[in-house]
């Protein structure tokens, strides 16, 4: 079996902590097509609370939080013995002869016990993955998936913690460089238009562009300072990008460790189990979404309408790109196998 086939089928490697008697035969069949024996999953991200919320729906008793195994052993000495010396034997200390008897009766016993306490935290992720695979609840083609469905993505992973940039917004040189970049874009667009201008007019336009860029950038940076800076993540599944944000307490390692080790692109071939939340949109769709958002926000009053007007700017700077799918990740992992697997 090739590596690609392993990633596609996964195989049921665990048992659900519920009554799965009706699925035992299916589990056994799928185990034959599962991952090689010498391979494991290396988890980079696991949203344990959300995973637990799904698993609790499969068991009438709720989510299994702890498993205790107790082993006991006992022994009984049921065999006794008797030893005696008699006849003409001399009994020391008496100066005469007689019989000496030593006897031990049955009935002595002892017990030993061993208690093991298991934390099913990480097996919960595998259990959910297996259950969804067995029930065919996972869509492996994100283009064919609908909002609210489970999707399984595989490809190149990019992670960046926006908190690393939050301290930059108040640095004057950073602000100057951002303003200069906007002015250069305006100049390039003007040159591309082919309209001839005099040197005096060019200087006047440059001053106007700089004043406009300074005003706009000051507003943008002031807004950025008060907005939450999340951990951004995207995965490239055969040219289709899925965008999401990650919770720091669900990462197995720290985002700073990922940054200094890999940069933005995390090396390796990664898989993501997620729930599809949003579809890509073009400019026409985005305009329609903005109009609908403004209409809905009116129900929140004037402040809601104001926030609705700012939301596209915030999303353009910190949020999901228009051409990307939006997902809520449950787990991110990769296959780690031996060299000959």
% of the chain surpassing 70 pLDDT = 60
What pLDDT band is residue 213 in, cutting at 50, 70 and 90? confident
> Which pLDDT belongs to residue 306?
59
Mean pLDDT in residue range 134-162: 93
Which sequence spans correspond to the domains of the chain?
3-9+35-62+122-128+137-162+230-280+323-337, 166-226
Mean pLDDT in residue range 298-326: 68
Please state, in angstroms and rounded to a whole number, the distance separating the CA atoms of residues 338 and 341: 5
If you average pLDDT over each of 122-131, 144-153, 297-306, which comes out highest?
A: 144-153
Tens-digit pLDDT profile for residues 4-63: 445 444 444 444 443 433 434 443 344 434 444 566 889 999 999 899 889 888 776 666
Tens-digit pLDDT profile for residues 317-326: 667 888 899 9
Q: Does the structure show a pLDDT above 70 at 236?
A: yes
Give the domain 3-9+35-62+122-128+137-162+230-280+323-337 fold. Answer: OB fold (Dihydrolipoamide Acetyltransferase, E2P) (2.40.50)
105 vs 1: which has the higher pLDDT: 105
Please state, in angstroms and rounded to a whole number, the distance separating the CA atoms of residues 283 and 286: 5
236 vs 218: which has the higher pLDDT: 236
DSSP per-residue string spanning 52-101: HHHHTTT-TT-----EEEEEEEEEEE---EEEEE-TT-EETTTTEE--EE
Give the helix ranges, DSSP H, for the chain.
Answer: 3-9, 24-31, 48-55, 121-134, 163-166, 172-193, 199-226, 255-262, 283-297, 302-318
Q: What is the DSSP letter of 162?
A: T
Compute the mean pLDDT over every residue in the chain, rounded to the nearest whole number: 74
- At 191 the three-state DSSP class reads helix
If you average pLDDT over each of 48-52, 195-199, 233-237, which comes out highest?
A: 233-237
If you average pLDDT over each of 52-61, 75-84, 123-132, 323-332, which comes out highest?
A: 323-332
% of the chain surpassing 90 pLDDT = 22
> HSE on the CB side for 304, CA within 13 Å?
10
pTM of the model: 0.63
């Amino acid at each position: 079996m090739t590596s690609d086939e392993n990633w596609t089928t996964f195989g049921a490697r665990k048992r659900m902590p519920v009554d799965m008697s009706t699925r035992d035969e299916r589990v056994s069949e799928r185990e034959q097509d599962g991952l090689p024996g010498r391979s494991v999953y290396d988890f980079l991200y696991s949203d344990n609370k959300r995973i637990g919320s799904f698993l609790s729906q499969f068991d009438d008793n709720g989510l299994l939080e702890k498993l205790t195994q107790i082993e006991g052993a006992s022994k009984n000495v049921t065999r006794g013995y008797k030893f005696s010396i008699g006849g003409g034997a001399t009994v020391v200390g008496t100066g005469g002869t007689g019989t000496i008897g030593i006897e031990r009766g049955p009935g002595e016993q002892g017990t030993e016990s061993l208690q093991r306490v298991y934390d099913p935290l990480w097996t919960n992720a595998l259990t959910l993955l297996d259950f969804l695979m067995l029930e065919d609840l996972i869509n492996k083609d994100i283009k064919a998936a609908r909002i609210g469905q489970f999707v399984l993505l595989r490809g190149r992973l990019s992670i960046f913690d926006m908190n690393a940039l939050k301290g930059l917004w108040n640095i004057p040189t950073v602000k100057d460089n951002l303003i200069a970049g906007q002015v250069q874009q305006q100049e390039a667009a003007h040159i591309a238009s082919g309209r001839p201008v005099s040197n005096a007019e060019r200087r006047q336009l440059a001053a106007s562009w700089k004043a406009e860029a300074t005003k706009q950038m000051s507003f943008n940076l002031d807004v950025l300072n008060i907005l939450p800076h999340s951990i951004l993540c995207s995965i490239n599944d055969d040219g289709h990008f899925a965008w999401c944000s990650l919770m720091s307490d669900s990462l197995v390692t720290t985002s700073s460790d990922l940054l200094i080790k890999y940069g933005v692109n995390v090396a390796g071939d990664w898989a993501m189990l997620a729930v599809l939340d949003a579809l890509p949109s073009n400019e026409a769709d985005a305009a329609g979404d903005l109009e609908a958002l403004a209409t809905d926000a009116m129900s929140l009053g004037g402040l809601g309408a104001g926030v609705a007007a700012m939301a596209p700017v915030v999303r353009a700077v910190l949020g999901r790109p228009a051409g990307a799918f939006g997902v809520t990740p449950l787990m991110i992992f990769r296959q780690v196998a031996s060299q000959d697997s």
